[in-house]
């Protein structure tokens, strides 16, 4: 597997507290969908922030196509709880803002993409509303629409669907997996929801309790295939994978459901 995104001997501590240790090594292939699962507080968000360039490793390197990652740039689209919408722009303008560098798109194409992704996240009717007038969950959806519309090569998503109702969440899972396949995105995704992890991932990475250490890797695509119709969730192999991962999380000392 080629190392499109590579973690090479990565460690991180805050003050004297080790969050990623002894050292983390992982190769993510181009167009791979990797999901991070692990006990609460084990260091998943810290790893995501370092991929995004919002934090620096204490040791080792994170490389994208062989180059050490630096400050956030448009190759990496992020949906983090803390990286939400811009309050001075309307919901529609927030989504347009994500496409400001897309010289390959005409203005009409940008507006069509804006409308498509706002509709997908169920916010089309709020297109002219300012984010401080909508709920926190809706602001999170603005960030999802903005990031998907921007079309970055690498999507970094830290519990992006956590605040959504079950139906919207399922719809976005299907769409995200389809976008990733169709548009050849590399995705790193954090969730606490094991079924979401199995449904979305090519590979699930299970972490230990803090300090985060790779406990297990589960190759989902070799068992479920790359296409993920919703019916897959009712199949025996889906359940087997889910139970396997739940067992691993129990060993990890996690509290996931």
Ligand X SMILES: Nc1ncnc2c1ncn2[C@@H]1O[C@H](COP(=O)(O)OP(=O)(O)OP(=O)(O)O)[C@@H](O)[C@H]1O
Residues of the shown chain interacting with ligand X in the complex, contacts defined by CB under 6 A: 14, 19, 38, 40-46, 210
Contact 4, 75 (CB under 8 A): no
Residue 16 CB partners (closer than 8 Å, separation 6+): none
Least distance to ligand X from the beta carbon of 99, Å? 29
15 or 229, CB closer to ligand X?
15
Strand residues in 17-167 grouped as ranges (E): 17-28, 33-37, 59-64, 67-68, 76-79, 154-158
26 or 91, CB closer to ligand X?
26
24 or 238, CB closer to ligand X?
24
55 or 153, CB closer to ligand X?
55
Least distance to ligand X from the beta carbon of 112, Å? 35
Distance CA 175, CA 96 (A): 20
39 or 131, CB closer to ligand X?
39
Alpha-carbon torsion angle 40, 42, 48, 53, nearest 10? 130
Least distance to ligand X from the beta carbon of 190, Å? 7
210 or 228, CB closer to ligand X?
210
The number of beta carbons lying within 10 Å of the beta carbon of residue 102 is 15
Please provide residue 58's backbone torsions phi and psi, each rounded to the nearest 5 degrees: -80, -30
Least distance to ligand X from the beta carbon of 195, Å? 17
Q: How far apart are the first and last CA of the chain?
A: 31
Least distance to ligand X from the beta carbon of 194, Å? 13
Task: Tell me the H-state helices in 151-189.
Answer: 166-182
Least distance to ligand X from the beta carbon of 113, Å? 30
Q: For 188, what's the count of Cα atoms within 13 Å in the CB-facing half-sphere? A: 27
Least distance to ligand X from the beta carbon of 14, Å? 3
Q: What long-range pairs does 223-229 form, CB within 8 A, spacing at least 24? A: 224/198, 226/181, 226/202, 227/181, 228/174, 228/177, 228/199, 228/200
20 or 91, CB closer to ligand X?
20
């Amino acid at each position: 597997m080629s190392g499109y995104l590579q973690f090479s001997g990565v460690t991180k501590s805050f003050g004297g507290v080790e969050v990623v240790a002894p050292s983390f090594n992982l190769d993510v292939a181009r167009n791979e969908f990797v999901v991070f699962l692990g006990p609460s507080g084990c260091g998943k968000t810290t790893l995501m922030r370092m991929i995004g360039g919002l934090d620096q490793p204490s040791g080792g390197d994170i490389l994208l196509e062989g180059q050490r990652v630096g400050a956030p740039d448009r190759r990496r689209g992020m949906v983090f709880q803390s990286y939400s919408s811009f309050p001075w722009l309307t919901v529609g303008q927030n989504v347009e803002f994500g496409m400001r560098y897309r010289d390959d798109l005409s203005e009409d194409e940008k507006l069509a993409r804006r409308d498509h992704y706002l509709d997908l996240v169920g916010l089309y009717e709020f297109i002219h509303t300012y984010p401080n007038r909508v709920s926190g969950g809706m602001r999170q959806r603005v960030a999802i629409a903005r990031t998907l519309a921007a079309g970055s090569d690498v999507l970094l998503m830290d519990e992006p669907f956590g605040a959504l109702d079950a139906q919207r969440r399922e719809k976005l899972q299907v769409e995200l997996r389809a976008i990733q396949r169709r548009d050849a995105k590399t995705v790193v995704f954090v969730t606490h929801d094991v079924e979401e992890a199995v449904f979305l991932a090519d590979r699930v990475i299970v972490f230990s309790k803090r300090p985060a250490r790779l406990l297990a890797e589960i190759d989902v695509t070799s068992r479920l295939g790359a296409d993920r119709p919703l019916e897959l969730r009712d199949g025996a192999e889906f359940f087997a994978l889910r139970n396997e991962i739940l067992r691993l999380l129990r060993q990890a000392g996690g509290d996931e459901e």
